[in-house]
Chain A
Amino acid sequence: MNNYLLLLFNLINLIFIPLLLMGVIRKVKALMQNRIGSPILQPFYDLAKFLRKSETISQTASWVFLWNPLIGLGVAVIAVLLVPWAGPLLPPSWAPATNFLLIIYLLSLGKFFAMLSAMDTGSAFGGIGASREATISMLAEPALIIGLGALALGNGSTDLLTIFSNPSNPFIAGLVGAALVILALAELSRIPVDDPTTHLELTMVHEAMILENSGPNLALTEYAVALRSCLFFGLAMQTLMHIAPGFYQLELFPRYIISLAGLLGLGALVAVAEGVMVKLKWRSVPNFLAFGTVLSLLAALIAVWPK
């Protein structure tokens, strides 16, 4: 009985929180730019608007283009369900399913089809977006796996649920958390790696890939982005909160509230950073991501230290 309640809670979570997060980010960014900005619930209205519109599909597109948003959203939904981004909201028997390698490769499945669909329309926008997305992934994923591996070493298991239900070394948690924030910015195509608001080919990576989508396809894609933001920022926040020694012992509900507050706070911080920083020159992006890698490596060094 309890398990079903948890599952229902998870589902409600993933319907409301991701879009709320995007709304908070947009609102804070607008405030940084001295505007009032759109209401916090704007992403919900946007999605409803997209769903009402009709689609324009390129003549060159094939089934890859049509099915990509569905696969991407399906993958994102399952990933968000499995990752304990707001505390361990899954029953412990589900722990093996939350294996971080599985999650990362599942997200890669979504990315694979996203890149294919970008190239499917035969436009050079899609080409440059996909090619740059591949490069950014290449720089970010090793750091992600090494960082999460360092966290996992402390608990002897690669299952995220187990990692987040047990104590971690505060230094490892801090370093990996910082690395995860940098890598989240890379994976979610936010400033300073990519600008999610412009539509010029030199300043967009993710937007270039989804340029041809419209109507319901665009709604599904945007929702998938929101889900992934929730996942990555939530993961970073959970790791950072594990610096506090007693965090893993908190009861379910207080932990959830604190995590949620932390998540929205991190979103606000990211928006503040977006208002202050500019997108990096493309050639400087690898140097920025190298910081994430080095932070993960430092965490790995601490994790393997002899006891």
Chain B
Amino acid sequence: MNFSLIEILAAGSATLAVLMCGITSLKAQLQALACQTALFAGICVLVGIQQHAEHFLILALVIFLLKAIGIPLFLGWSSQRMGIQRDTGVTLNPGITLMMGFGALLAGYFLTPQFAVQSAGNPICAGISLALLFIGMLLMITRRLAISQVVGFLVMENGIFLYGLTQTHGMPHLVEMAAIFEVLIAVLIAGLVIFRINRSFEHIDVSKMRTLRH
């Protein structure tokens, strides 16, 4: 079993994503997200070394600072201000969600042949990015608190980015930077809006927000 270092790191981030499905403590989730994104930054560095392009190293730095450190800190700060520590309101039992996360990993494996781009190498990463996509969606569906859903969105975004990074020969530098900043702004806005929702409704439990039209 000869895996390149990129594939090992990608597998590590997929493992973390699967484990995130079962974590209910918000702080732990943010820490897992931070680790996952840090691994992802590492992949970026490796791709940069492999393709001898410097902009990947800058990209890795940006990812690390903004997504691995900045966003979790911001979300952690806002959840602390809202007094939330634990997302106990999950619609599916965390144990079953873990199994479904593992199933998403399997689905990613079986769909790899359809999605892997042969010329770019790293075939496993295509499957892993699909798995991350599914797991992100799973997290968004099964969590009740809005902040956890933002975390799911970020995992999904990680997956898409991984696919773009490893299966193409590098997207244009500008597109990637733009994407990152877009995500940053989205999360900032989401955080602020959630804060306001909490102020108005005293909670951010999404399942109770179905009567908003009244």
Q: Which residues of A contact B (CB under 8 A)?
A: 169, 171, 175, 286-287, 289-291, 293-294, 297-298, 301, 305, 307
Contacts and interface: CB of A to CB of B under 8 A. Distances in A.
Give the 9 A-B CB pairs with smallest separation, nearest first.
A290-B95, A287-B94, A294-B98, A287-B95, A290-B98, A297-B102, A286-B95, A294-B102, A291-B22
Decide if the interface of chain B is mainly helix, strand, loop or mixed.
helix
Given A294-B18, A294-B22, A307-B1, A301 B99 contact: no
Interface string B67-111: 000000000000000000000000001111011011001100100
Contacts of A307: 1
B62 interface: no
B131 to A, nearest CB: 11
B22 A287 contact: yes
B98 A298 contact: no
Interface of B: 1, 11, 15, 18-19, 22, 24, 93-96, 98-99, 101-102, 105-106, 109
B24 to A, nearest CB: 8
Contacts of A297: 99, 102
Contact of A290 (B11, B99, B109): B99
Contacts of A289: 95
Contact of A291 (B96, B98, B106): B98
Contacts of A171: 11
Contacts of B109: 301
Contacts of A175: 15
B19 to A, nearest CB: 7
B4 to A, nearest CB: 14
A133 B194 CA distance: 43
Contacts of B105: 298, 301
B57 to A, nearest CB: 27
A305 B1 contact: yes
A298 B102 contact: yes
A168 to B, nearest CB: 12
Nearest to A175: B15
A169 B22 CA distance: 26
A284 to B, nearest CB: 8
Contacts of B1: 169, 305, 307
A161 B191 CA distance: 54
B102 A291 contact: no
B130 to A, nearest CB: 15
Given A169-B1, A301-B106, A294 B101 contact: yes
Nearest to B12: A171
Contact of A294 (B93, B99, B106): B99
Given A169-B1, A298-B15, A290 B22 contact: yes
Given A169-B1, A301-B105, A305-B1, A293 B18 contact: no
A293 B98 contact: yes
A290 B94 contact: yes
30 contacts: A171-B11, A175-B15, A286-B93, A286-B95, A287-B93, A287-B95, A289-B95, A290-B95, A290-B96, A291-B19, A291-B22, A293-B95, A293-B98, A293-B99, A294-B19, A294-B22, A294-B98, A294-B99, A294-B101, A294-B102, A297-B99, A297-B102, A298-B15, A298-B105, A301-B102, A301-B105, A301-B106, A301-B109, A305-B1, A307-B1
